[in-house]
Structure 1
């Protein structure tokens, strides 16, 4: 640090040396003059610091300088009567007045600095200051004011002795106010706090000297403390950082910092500490001061906590709003739009549950709203040619026009760089028409209203848009599906001459059949068209049918009996797999409970998909199904594939661990078709391993398949996994698996999947013939 900035520390070093050297001067006039000279130099240095640094709030520093000057006047009067005459005499009462004035000026100066620094944000700082001051004041009252008042002396002397500690508390209050506010903790603030601390320490020692003769030897060195305080005040004024203390702090939310929390807790504990000391030393409990101060601090702490909770609530609401808001346009973002769309479907569900919905479950629900996606064509060219500022201005203008066109009741969101989404509720009279969006005159009118020339910052941009829409809930039974199908319609609109399209099933990529089926699937669940067939699983050693695997079938009224491959993949892609799995799980658990009640002790295995493992409600759904039908968890088996586990291993371990804790058996299905190793899978809480049919079909004829199956069974046994072979077609394969010590098997050679009503007879037939077949 050079130039004028270096003079503060030069003055500090010289001032400290002269302060220490003051002790060497003899008592009397030399020491008196030296003390005053150093004090006057501090006041002059403060004036120089004010003139050179030119702080914004100069009045605060003028008051601090005036406080130092008043203190020096008091020292001059006090020391003249106690040190200069050959016989020291008590100073007159008026000699104490400058000290009181000094306290007031110093406190006002510090308070003005604090208020200037945290202007408009001082409520919490005031509470913290009050709590900390009460703690300090309680200690001062008990250990300084009360003993000073108890001394045998004239009333005026006792009043003066009790006044100084109270003034010290006033100075502490303003210093704490400066520290606890959002001030800048820089060199100037450190020097100010140090000067206050040295001043208070010197005053406290003076009180002990006057109350206890044992402290008399400390009286002479006390001058060092007061002179050092002068030097620190002056160094703070000379330091260039003193300007920052007069400027408002940057806008920010107040925080409950760790050091502040520690300070508040220490202040609150002063009452119990004083009582404890009184009990241990028999010096008095001081109940009323402790009770009053503790009660006041408790009330302030409560107010502080209430304020903090309110502030955190406001902050959480603000963050929530920001998380759902596009910062360029001020509209909702994709997340916010999805939330509003979810609310629409929740409301529609509640409306349907009142009984005022369609009279028959097969009736298509009316369209309650339309979801429209609007895409600015060639928007990337705009940002590439004119920059992102022009692109931002364009999307803001389009968003504003959408708000005007649809009104305040619609939800308008920006869901992509140049893409907007609109959720517009239809009036009751418009809910039934099902004409496609590209033939809707209102859609064409909307497109024309959005297109045209936009004047942006001196530029004229010609804008074209394309629209894709979906009627909900008629075209999409869920919010996620509505967004997906609106995207599908928008993609289709880009390739059409009119640039407008409403979702139709044939727009789906990957074929129309699966998309149409998924659109009908929820209705099929409600109508009971989706059923389960059950395939037996046989324990090879005993020949007993120990359980069944539940296999889904759809009894479609048009297409006949559909196997899972016809609709399960599409259900996984569109999010319908969740409701479907809950439905099948409940159906399988209920049927198994019925068999066991009838004396047929079987377990039931249900397949899970990757989406199911990512569903946070899976564990709750499984528990609910078991409890609803009174089936023990040990009777339920859940099957997952290798690929399902490997999609999210961490999540899989968590969910599977929770399911295993319930007592459910977990199985790896179709083992051998993936790329994971058995060594990795054994880290999961699996109980069974189902070898895929591709290795079982040629087991008798293919040595390679036999070797793979044999080694898998051996390794699984060492890992305490039961092995189930899938795809057993003949008795020879069955006997070979038994010789390999395979635990169980299933396949068409044992029994085909059958409806639940036919299963008991199939179980009896399998167990009746299995002994002879395996013995041959």
Structure 2
């Protein structure tokens, strides 16, 4: 009887194990089928997303290609020699410039059109002799919208054309340039995105051609033979999913399309390896299962199912549901209790991790990542309804000084108090205050345009006017605030945050309280990425030019004066205006080298025999960075000694704002320069602040009235009164007065009547090269 029981028991276990194994195999097979189908579906979805990105990148590459072409066209149109040749009608010179410039930038065609968009001259690359006859089909669409680029099919080849105006200074013609969409652009796309690119060009004369392709030749031949069927191309090597991108084109019967192709097998290959590994693991699991199921099947089936469900909830992040079977006293109960303890511990850890990841522990405000996520969600929630929002970024002034003087613990208390004060400024709603790091905070304003953002910034600034009282210590607060608005200032969340921060730094530099983002603040723009290295090269390779703007005496004396200015003769850009590189040089600190270059050039001129007998006095501008350089006086003295020129031949012009950035250091340096014999002048007088407080202490010899007052003095009584008062003030202090911005004879006569000592402006003369200045002076004497 006992043997039969043992046999029955074993038979039952075998049947249970057999059924369990069969079920396990069925489940695994179904799982493999589902996984395989899911892999294929996910692979295709992944490729579709990749092709979306590929399409955007391809269009961006075409836009960049058009922009390079447009810059090349603009450079040619801005070339002084070319404009002179066009004005003179010298066709040989025009043709030569077109050929040289077109070959230098690799253009297939470079053409000059008149103001009626008729072809005047054209330069073509080899093999383009038939092009002029087809240019009319390109010029008509471009004439309708000259700012846009056009794609045209000419001779069975796709070309990208742009057109820019030729001004002198009015529009006297148009420069047309074209590049072929060639293999190099497709190879660049292939290298960037690992996607195959095929250019399909159709025209009435040449039919359908595939001139550009990154596909292997056998695959390309297959594509020509059967084309793309159902968005896919079946090849012996596998399936390629294709995306057709239409490219609007001009020309008779022109049809330009781009095929972007990605391999399904390349995406699926890593998953196939995982399937093999999963099969091996499954086989091992089946063997272990067969051994273990017979031992623990009856006792553990129900508890394990419960524990399995609980672990699945844990994997999904559901930590709030307690586990069952924790009341049992056997091993299952111990295991259940262990899982439950793990559930509680992991839940607490995840909560803490999420808090650390998204919240600032010191101020209990959202951190940078949480703030960025909120901005992304706010932009996404708007969709097609363009309801504006704004981001304000503020950085506390002198916070490092607080830490240094009162300690970091006090600094932490100050940050907490600032966080509380910022919270108080926000109305109830979805708006958010966050601490981005250090002493930098940000505010997200929903449904706020630039005016509302500016008003919020002013409210914050007003709230900071009340000092903070912490531990019997009063601390005055101030901050630089910048803000940017979506969608006007930025198209996405990252750009919005970055540009708000850029505006904040600009506000701190200008001490202006709050500023909205402006593209001129952004030193990271594409036009200034290489500007610093080019400026260094300009000094080393003698690309800078000295210009002098005459200053004339208004009270009968014959003294000759001038203001020294710098111009940059760039080898490619031509003559670069000062406003395109002087502000950049000031912000990067390179203005010191520019100042020394100007001073050296003026000293070299004054040492020449033709200038020694003129009694010429030259004014040189000093920036804030120059004035705060402790070695400035020594460097200027060395230049004077090297050329044998007296300091009295120079007048150093300093703006009021440069003095106010660091009054003590500025005053010390001005005293040293005055002791060396330099004449000192306050430039742009009347546009700064605290001038009178320092004017009586500074060794100043001259005041220069800002042109904003001078230019309006004949039409605005207030400006005339300011100029008259400034002249009287300066004369009472024993100073001479110079008026800049003299544009008319009436202004010059009025200044002479008011007793102004000297004047400069376009009515007298524009800034001139040295030789032209000498000729102008000779003409004045005659």
Which category describes the TM-score, using the shorter chain as reference length? 0.3 to 0.5
Larger Rg: 1
Q: Which has the higher helix share?
A: 1
- Using the size of structure 1 for normalisation, the TM-score is 0.34
- Greater relative contact order (CA < 8 Å, ≥ 6 in sequence): 1
- Using the size of structure 2 for normalisation, the TM-score is 0.34
Q: Which has the higher strand share?
A: 2
